[in-house]
Amino acid sequence: MQTKTRPSDNFYKLLKIIRLSSSLVGIDVIDENYKFNYVVGFVLMAIAWNFMISIYTICKDVKTDWTVLLDVFSPISCATQGVVKIISLLLYPKLYRELAMDLVEIYKKYQALGSKYETKLLEWNQSMKNILIIGGLGERHLIIMCQMPYVDVNTDHGYFITIGYNILCVFVAAFGLYGADLYVFLFLTHSIFFYDIFALKVGDLHEVLRENNKDKRIEALVNDIAGWHQYYLEFNDKCNLIFFWTITSHILCTTLGILSTLLIIMLKYWPGAYPYIFVCFVWLYMYSILGTRVEICNDQFCDGIYDINWYDLDVSAQKTVSLMLMESQVPRIITIAGIEPLSVNTALKITRSIYSLVMMVMQFNE
């Protein structure tokens, strides 16, 4: 007889995929004994070398063709994101591991509370699986347009050296950025899911209240609901901390990458510009959609607290609900550099600004 797969087992499998992707570039921070290693050292050195040859390319060609600045800057924005995201992971390995292990315990605890909790956790599994697939399909990094010193791409020998280096860069960028992005998706997506458990807890409370509003279990249920809401707020605060530079660099570099690529399209020919700019827009809005979903989740928590039948509770429990309402009035949104909210509305503002700048350059160019 086949054993039924539990939500925690599925989560372990998903976490294993994330750890595998990140371990290829030496940033498996979920490992309890994780330390800075030679793999991540090699990756950082490769990124540093990428910056150096970018500077070399600019110095070599800028006098005869200033648009080389755009050629170099578009792909180098990916390298900038990569180094910032890796350093962000290296700064908070314990916090990343703590949040991941907290999610493991949540799966183990709530899958044992009944079929409705288990069903909801299985839905979480499927959603995370879909995100992994979409993220993997969307992770594309084009061949860089930089030249290495003492390597002539017009010769067979120089050509194969350059192609080999480009393949290495694509490998590092793909797995490095993908691994770092998956941690963002893992934690922010589960932050969105926390309301599902909250709603089930409130439903359990209402069932007890309908049976007997003097039941001794009520106080424990109310305290459990308040504790879950508090954990949700703390979880979002920790996400804002560990993703501060990751999200900021992602939005900033993606925006500048889009702008520089649009200018390339206007001023010269680069076949890879169109797929590159498409991917940039996809990743700009994927992050922004996640931020918007967190905003919506905050509103759901606020509405969910209002929906609690507080009038059936004693004075002590009513005070607990009142404190929850006060906390919910200060939502924990995910921000960009602690200034702008990470949301679709912000992404639309960025898109409008890019459009305005491009139109201004086009008029000036005419």
Domain ranges of the chain: 7-365
Which has the minimum average pLDDT: 62-76, 111-125, 290-304? Answer: 62-76
pLDDT for 238 equals 94
Average pLDDT, the chain: 83
Angle at 66 between CA 251 and CA 255, to 5 degrees: 10
Q: What is the structure's pLDDT at 141?
A: 45
Q: What is the pLDDT of residues 8-65, one digit of tens each?
A: 999 988 888 888 888 877 888 998 888 888 888 888 887 787 778 777 777 776 677 6
Instruction: Give percent above pLDDT 70 in the chain.
Output: 81
The whole-number pLDDT of residue 40 equals: 85
Q: What is the pLDDT at residue 154?
A: 64
Q: What is the mean pLDDT of residues 68-95?
A: 79
pLDDT-derived band at 240 (thresholds 50, 70, 90) equals very high
Which H or E run contains 67? Answer: none
pLDDT at 273: 73
**Looking at 158-162, 232-236, 314-318, which range is the least confident one?**
158-162
Predicted local distance difference test score (pLDDT) of residue 351: 92
Asked if 61 and 68 touch (Cβ cutoff 8 Å), the reply is yes
DSSP 29: T
DSSP 144: P
Average pLDDT on 251-277 reads 79
* Tokens (6 digits) for 45: 């050195």
The single residue listed with the structure tokens 């424990």 is: 220
User: What are the C-alpha distances in Å from 211 to residues 199, 214, 314?
Assistant: 19, 9, 15
pLDDT of 216 above 80: yes
CA-based nearest residue to 190, from 133, 131, 108, 113: 131
